[in-house]
Amino acid sequence: MADRTVAERGARPNVDAESQWWLDALRSEGSEREQATARLHELMLKAARFEVGRRRGALSHVRGEELEDIAMQAANDALMAVLSKLDDFRGASRFTTWAYKFALLEAGVKLRRRAWQQREVVLEPESWATLADRSTSTHAQLEHSEVLDELKTAVDSALTPHQRRVFVALALNEVPIDVLSERMETTRGALYKTLHDARRKLRQELAASGLVEPDGEQSRRTT
């Protein structure tokens, strides 16, 4: 398994021996680095294929060859990300766990976007309620309810147009955030910040109507 003679070189207190072996080998030169890089790519591909396997049911319309291509591309991108971020590894977990998350992220993003490739994402709704996707469980549960009316009023009155678009897409229509970030040419983090701010505003509005507690807890009052 791990080359302990390498692992013992310059080990940091928080890094276990095997993780230190990975760091040292990937920072070395020549065949040692090449072999470590090849092993790391195998791990990335294993993780990417694992993610493909989890999502295969939702991607039954996509050919197996294409899914394998997606897994390989995710593994390649994850390998580059890990190699460029070795200095960020602090030993809070084992190196392999840390590296896995890059492959799972890359594969997850690619697969979500592939699943929505042919689907339209409405970004400029004139009326969020009429454009809300009624097939989603969230919308179905709120339909014909007093809550929907109150929420619609709050969405229309309290949110900025950008917050309204993001909230309707992500929270109400359940568009994957990676899909929306691609369509709106922004990042997952920026979109989530907008969603977070929108939710906070809506909670304040609904608290004033008695639908949620003022501190934000969503236990509707029973009168």
Partner 1 sequence: MTQSDHKHNEALERLLAPTGFEVTCDQCFELLDAYVELELAGADADLELPGVRAHFQGCPACREDYESLRDLVRRDQLG
Interacting residue ranges for partner 1, rule: CB under 8 A:
47, 50-51, 54, 92-94, 96-98, 100-101, 104-105, 108, 112, 138, 141-142, 145-147, 151, 171-172, 174, 176-178, 188-189, 192-193, 195-196, 199, 202-203, 206, 211-212, 215-220, 222
Q: Which is nearer to partner 1, 35 or 96 (CB)?
A: 96
Give yes or no for a contact between 213 and 207, defined as CB atoms under 8 angstroms apart.
yes
Q: Which is nearer to partner 1, 28 or 93 (CB)?
A: 93
**How far apart are alpha carbons 31 and 28 in whole angstroms?**
9
- Number of residues that make up the chain: 223
Least separation in angstroms between residue 30's CB and partner 1 is: 29
Least separation in angstroms between residue 207's CB and partner 1 is: 10
Nearest Cα residue to 51 out of 119, 117, 112, 141: 112
Residues 6 or more apart from 207 whose CB is under 8 A from it?
Answer: 213, 214, 216
Q: Which is nearer to partner 1, 134 or 193 (CB)?
A: 193
Q: Which is nearer to partner 1, 24 or 178 (CB)?
A: 178
Nearest Cα residue to 164 out of 119, 109, 130, 124: 124
